[in-house]
Structure 1
Amino acid sequence: MRLENKVILISGSATGIGKAIAKCCVTEGARVIIHGLEADLAAEVVAELGADKAVAHVEDLTNEGCPQRLVDLALSTYGQLDAVVNNAAMVSQGNIHTTDAAFFMKMMSVNALAPFLLTKAALPALTKTHGSVLNIGSVNAYSGEPNLLPYSISKGALMTLTRNLGDTLMRENGVRVNQINPGWVLTENEAKRKREHGLREDWYTDLPKVYAPAGRILWPEEIAAAAIFWLADESGPISGQVMDLEQHPFIGRNPPKDTSTIPSK
Structure 2
Amino acid sequence: MRLANKVILITGGYTGIGKAIAQKAVKEGAKVLVNGLDEKFGLELVKDLGTENATNLTIDITKKEAPKLLIEHVIQKFGKLDCIVNNAAQIVSSTIQNTHSEFLIDILKTNTVAPLAIIREALPYLEKTKGCVLNIGSINAWGGEPDLLAYSISKGALMTMTRNLGDSLFRENGVRVNQINPGWVLTENEQNKKKAEGMKDDWYKDIPAIFAPAKRLFSPEEIAAAATFLLSNECGPISAQVIDLEQFPLIGRNLPKNWQGSHN
Fold conserved between structures, TM > 0.5: yes
- For residues 121-161 of structure 1, what are the alpha-carbon distances to aligned partners after superposition, in whole Å with 9 as ceiling and x for unaligned? 11000000000000000000000000000000000000000
- Matched residue, 2:124: 124
Q: Please report how far the alpha carbon of residue 253 of structure 1 lies from its aligned counterpart in structure 2 after TM superposition.
A: 2.2
The reply to whether residue 94 of structure 1 matches residue 94 of structure 2 is yes
- Secondary structure at the counterpart of residue 181 of structure 2: strand
Q: Structure 2 length normalisation: TM-score?
A: 0.96
Q: Please report how far the alpha carbon of residue 85 of structure 1 lies from its aligned counterpart in structure 2 after TM superposition.
A: 0.3
Q: Distance in 2 between matches of 1:150 and 1:227?
A: 25
Q: Structure 1: which amino acid aligns with 2:231?
A: L
The Cα RMSD (Å) is 0.9
Q: Distance in 1 between matches of 2:255 and 2:154?
A: 25
- Matched residue, 1:251: 251
158-167 or 191-200, which deviates more:
191-200
- Secondary structure at the counterpart of residue 133 of structure 2: strand
- Matched residue, 1:80: 80
Percent identical among aligned pairs is 55
Could you list the runs of 5+ residues in structure 2 that have no partner in the other structure? none
- For residues 3-60 of structure 1, what are the alpha-carbon distances to aligned partners after superposition, in whole Å with 9 as ceiling and x for unaligned? 1010000000000000000000000000000100000000111000000000000010
- For residues 168-216 of structure 1, what are the alpha-carbon distances to aligned partners after superposition, in whole Å with 9 as ceiling and x for unaligned? 0001100000000000000011111111221111000011111111110
Q: Distance in 2 between matches of 1:149 and 1:175?
A: 31
- Secondary structure at the counterpart of residue 35 of structure 1: strand
Could you list the runs of 5+ residues in structure 1 that have no partner in the other structure? 260-265
Q: Please report how far the alpha carbon of residue 251 of structure 1 lies from its aligned counterpart in structure 2 after TM superposition.
A: 2.6
Q: Structure 1: which amino acid aligns with 2:134?
A: L
- Matched residue, 1:169: 169
- For residues 84-117 of structure 1, what are the alpha-carbon distances to aligned partners after superposition, in whole Å with 9 as ceiling and x for unaligned? 0000000000000011122111111100001100
- Matched residue, 1:53: 53
Runs of 4+ in 1 over 4 A off after TM superposition: none
- Matched residue, 1:181: 181
Alignment of 1:84-233 (within 5 A): 84-233=84-233
- Secondary structure at the counterpart of residue 186 of structure 1: coil
- The alignment of Structure 1 onto Structure 2 pairs a total of residues equal to 259
Q: Please report how far the alpha carbon of residue 254 of structure 1 lies from its aligned counterpart in structure 2 after TM superposition.
A: 5.3
Q: Structure 1 length normalisation: TM-score?
A: 0.96
Q: Distance in 1 between matches of 2:161 and 2:260?
A: 37
- For residues 51-92 of structure 1, what are the alpha-carbon distances to aligned partners after superposition, in whole Å with 9 as ceiling and x for unaligned? 000000001000011011111111001000000000000000
